[in-house]
Structure 1
Amino acid sequence: MTRNTSFSKPFLALALATLPFSVAADPATVYAENCADCHGAQRLGAIGPALIPETLKRMRGPNLADVILNGRVASQMPAFAETLTPEAVEELAAYLKAPLDFTPTWTETDIAASRELRDDYTPVTAPVWASDPMNITLAVETGDHHVSVLDGDTFAVLDRFPTPFAVHGGPKFDPTGRFVFIMSRDGWVQKYDLYALQEVGRVRAGLNSRNIAMSADGQFLAVANYLPNTLTILNTADLSVAAVREVKGKDGTPSRVSAVYQAPPRESFVLALKDVPEIWEVFYGPNPPQMGFAHDWRIEGPVNNPDPFPIRKITTPDFLDDFFFDQSYEYVMGAARDGKSGQVIDLVIGHKIADLDLPGMPHLGSGITWAWGDTTVMATPHLQDGVVSVIDMETWKTVKTIQTEGPGFFMRSHENSPYVWVDVFFGENKDAMHIIDKQSLEIVRTLRPAPGKTVAHVEFTKDGSHALVSVWEDDGAVLIYDAQTLEQVGSLPMRKPSGKYNVWNKITFSEGTSH
């Protein structure tokens, strides 16, 4: 069932109710009277975001009690300072941070009922702008939950549209670069038409979600869920449900899905699981490969109507939380739970083939590759140590550990650039951006464009001539650099810009960006 509607706000917030200061009430009652209308009777979200630990604990910004007391800028969240005592607010905040006392469900029926298609969406036959469609770049502004659509040649802002609350994970483009899909932490998936500069619709695919992945043919979008323990697969054409898969290990242990990745040459999605030492490969192509691992397959449905999304379960020696794929998508590098090592899994044979020396909780999802001498190397920043590890992808040995001014989160490059850009996201040197020469593997320059502020995440234009850098602050900006001279040539004011995503780099799987 499709519910057609129009909406102009990414979410509404807590409903203001009058509660006398003298009235003593338990936090559950306070929530029911003040919050449930917008955030749902079970705290799972409705027209407002979910208020559960899985969503709240990962959100950066003001603490929860302060938001309840004073409201939130750039939203319809009201201030409760005049209706709730500070003590009541503290109790309410503690209540919202406490785990749910039940296991929530979100079924295919629930997903279908949440689907909202814009009744004012009007498809077009060609872009309504004159820019290069392959050089469009999206800038996610988490400060007020918007995305800016940038012309990659002139850097003009073509549109700025609202998103669901707390976007997480990179947006995914369909293979034509026309449609983009954006996901929020509480499971909303938004479809936006870049040609028409209009939202098409949205659907809630889970209750607490990690990221999304696009199939190579553009027909399916996979959504990794923490709550419930499921993988949701959507039809991209109309956001309808193609499948919902409960995630349990071979021994029946339920698991959250840490992330889902696309493996285009294999016509599959690859899942990282949080609670079982397994990798799942979910095939969507018409002819999934038969590799002789019958015990790794699960085919559901009658023989004459087999499961269109067969699942292969690969046992791993350890829990793997973060992945990086080589360009062929035959090998997957995974970070071990101890944060000090990693493994290489060969997806063809379904076994570990090498160990990785990764000392400081690597952020493999941000890793990139490039040609170095007669081999290919992969490099990754670390979330705990101030180093970048450079690994030979033929021997799987670390060829160099580059010391940085602190732990980093993102690194990027481009085929036409001689440099790698890596931030120092955590710690006192968060305002630094290191520039590493791809051949010498040395830091050749450190930029500090906004002293004292967080400088992070780089994206290149289609041709690699310019690099876009975020000043990750509420009164931040996207800074434009000449990628050869390393000089700043422009600035676009934005509200806490986080990731930037260039259409060409993403749909061609540039080796300089994460996939």
Structure 2
Amino acid sequence: MKRTLGLLGPLLLAALALAQAPAPLSPAEKEEAAKIYFDRCAGCHGVLRKGATGPALDPKKMAEKGVEYLKAVIFGGLPGGMPDWGRQGILKEKDIELLARFLLEQPPSPPVPTFEEIRKTWKVHVPPEKRPTKPLHNRNWQNFFGQVLRDTGQVAIIDGDKKELVTIVPTGFATHILRSSATGRYFMAIGRDGKASLIDLWMNPPQVVAESKPCLDARSIESSKFKGYEDKYAVVGCYWPPTMVVLDGLTLEPLGRVRIYV
């Protein structure tokens, strides 16, 4: 009798999970849920939900836990680092339910932009030949600090000598990282949305002089600092598609793409 009850335990849990399984997402719901996932979850769990700094989110395992459990975790977070999106008020109740249902289904395959499509995102607001030949302000630009304002998609430029805010520059969605060029004249920013921005610190005030979007999900950008190649190139590391994209260091023109097999 005890053995029979012991066998029934997992079966009852599975039946309970199936009983609370929601209806499949409609195409419109899936599109909205995918956007929420990309904005809030993909950075830790991966675009394809295979895991990164956070664990993989396999649909079968998520179904075993059930939608109510997933909603509770999304709302309240976990001690290991999972944010409490609901408690903070970042995600509303309907968003949490949509996201929980989304995790029960197979992840959609994100699009892979062609190199030609990447090149179409390239914009030069101030060409190198029209940029100032000396700083247009009297501040010590070599002691400027850049502060990433992640959730607003901006970068704050701070005068390190005077401890003053110089300006706030719009960059990309969820700006992730900021790098200084070899000469120090430029800051390079990269957003979670893959948008790269080149900020000229000699302008008054500093501003974005070029941009491009080499991928759909990125985390890092760096400029060439090897002797003889200072500021000639920039490289973006993309999460999706898994590539490295080489850009012109002074205009951010996409020059080439290298596939990374993962």
Alignment correspondent of 1:200: 209
Partners of 2:145 and 2:132 lie apart in 1 by 20
Note if 1:219 corresponds to 2:218. Answer: no
What is the CA-CA distance between 1:52 and the residue it aligns to? 7.5
- C-alpha contact (below 8 Å) 2:142/2:185 kept by paired residues: no
1:89 to 92, 95, 119: 95
Question: Which digits, 9 at most, give the CA deviation of each residue in 1:15-70, with x for residues without a partner?
Answer: xxxxxxxxx993532355xx59xxxxx74x9xxx944842375798661794343x
Answer yes or no: is the 8 Å Cα contact 1:209–1:225 preserved in 2.
yes
For 1:50 and 1:119, locate their aligned partners in 2 and report how far apart those are by CA, in whole Å: 32
- Cα deviation, 1:241-281, whole Å, max 9, x if unaligned, reads 1110112xxxxxx22xxxxxxxxxxxxxxxxxxxxxxxxxx
Name 1:185's counterpart in structure 2. Answer: 192
Report the secondary structure of 1:114's partner residue. Answer: coil
2:241 alignment partner in structure 1: 228
Counterpart for residue 57 of structure 2:
none
Contact 2:122–2:254, Cα closer than 8 Å, also in 1:
no
Task: Point out 4+ residue stretches in structure 1 off by more than 6 angstroms.
Answer: 119-122
CA distance in 2, matches of 1:95, 1:116: 39
Q: Does residue 55 of the first structure (1) align with residue 43 of the second (2)?
A: yes
Aligned match of 1:165:
173
2:155 is matched by which residue type in structure 1? V
Q: CA deviation at 1:93?
A: 1.8
Q: 1:143 to 1:204 in 2, by over 3 A?
A: closer
**Residue 128 (structure 1) aligns with:** 136
Flag structure 2 segments of 5+ consecutive residues without an equivalent. Answer: 1-22, 46-52, 54-80
- Residue equivalent to 1:100: 107
**Change in CA separation of 1:106 and 1:115 when aligned onto 2, cut-off 3 Å:** same
CA 143–230 in structure 1, closer or farther in 2 if over 3 Å, else same:
closer
For the 8 Å contact 1:52–1:100, the answer to whether it is kept is: no
Q: Deviations over 1:113-144 (max 9, x none)?
A: 22233379973332232122221111222353
Partner of residue 246, structure 1: 259
Asked if 2 retains the 8 angstrom alpha-carbon contact of 1:148 and 1:161, the reply is yes
Structure in which a larger fraction of residues adopt helix:
2
* Among candidates 90, 95, 98, match of residue 67 of structure 1: 90
**Could you give the per-residue CA deviations for residues 442-488 of structure 1, whole angstroms, max 9, x where no partner exists?**
xxxxxxxxxxxxxxxxxxxxxxxxxxxxxxxxxxxxxxxxxxxxxxx
2:101 maps to 1:113: no
**Does the 8 Å CA contact 2:176/2:220 hold for their aligned counterparts?**
yes
Provide the aligned C-alpha RMSD in A.
Answer: 3.5
Quote the offset at 1:195 in angstroms. 0.9
**Residue 478 of structure 1: aligned partner:** none
Alpha-carbon distance in 2 for matches of 1:115, 1:60: 35
Is 2:118–2:254's contact at 8 Å kept on the other side of the alignment? yes
SS of aligned partner of 1:129 = coil
The CA deviation at 1:199 is 1.1
1:142 aligns with 2:150: yes
Q: Which amino acid aligns with 2:213?
A: R
Give me the TM-score of the superposition, normalised by structure 2. Answer: 0.62
Q: TM-score, normalised by structure 1?
A: 0.34
- Sort the Cα spacing of 1:239 and 1:246 in 2 relative to 1 into closer, same or farther, 3 A: same
Task: Name the SS of the counterpart of 2:168 in structure 1.
Answer: strand
Deviation, 1:175, is: 2.0
